[in-house]
Amino acid sequence: MEWRAIPGLEAYEATLTGHVRRRDTRHRISRVGNYYRLHVNGQLHKLSPGDIVTLAFPGPEVVERLRARVAELEMALRQAREGTNTATAPVASP
């Protein structure tokens, strides 16, 4: 799983799937509802996972990686529903 610094919120890192952790302790941050509450220099920043991913992973490659991940998950779900065991290995995240 790749962790990247969040520009403007350098005390935190994010993954492509929208998980957030502190850079210094590597402690994962929990969401409050649909948002993360991140504190930087005494200011509270309330951001959605989508906003955080956009900041940490800018550019069109993010969209392509997410589309590929969705396609993998849809195929695994379809195979599970059909009862086939061809996807016995865990599906890796991008």
Q: How many CB atoms lie within 10 A of CB 36?
A: 23
For 10-48, the pLDDT digits (tens) are 999 999 999 999 999 999 999 999 999 999 888 999 999
* Domain annotation covers residue 22: yes
Query: How would residue 85 be classed by pLDDT, with cut points 50, 70 and 90?
Result: low
Tell whether 84 is covered by a domain.
no
Asked if residue 77 belongs to a domain, the reply is no
pLDDT of residue 20: 97
How many distinct structural domains can be found in the chain? Answer: 1
Does residue 61 fall inside a structural domain?
no
Residue 15 lies in a domain: yes
Q: What confidence tens digit (pLDDT) does each residue in 53-81 have? A: 989 988 877 677 778 888 888 999 999 88
CATH number for position 43: 3.90.75.20
Strand-pair category, 20-22 with 36-40: unpaired
Within a domain: residue 32? yes
Q: What pTM was computed for the model?
A: 0.62
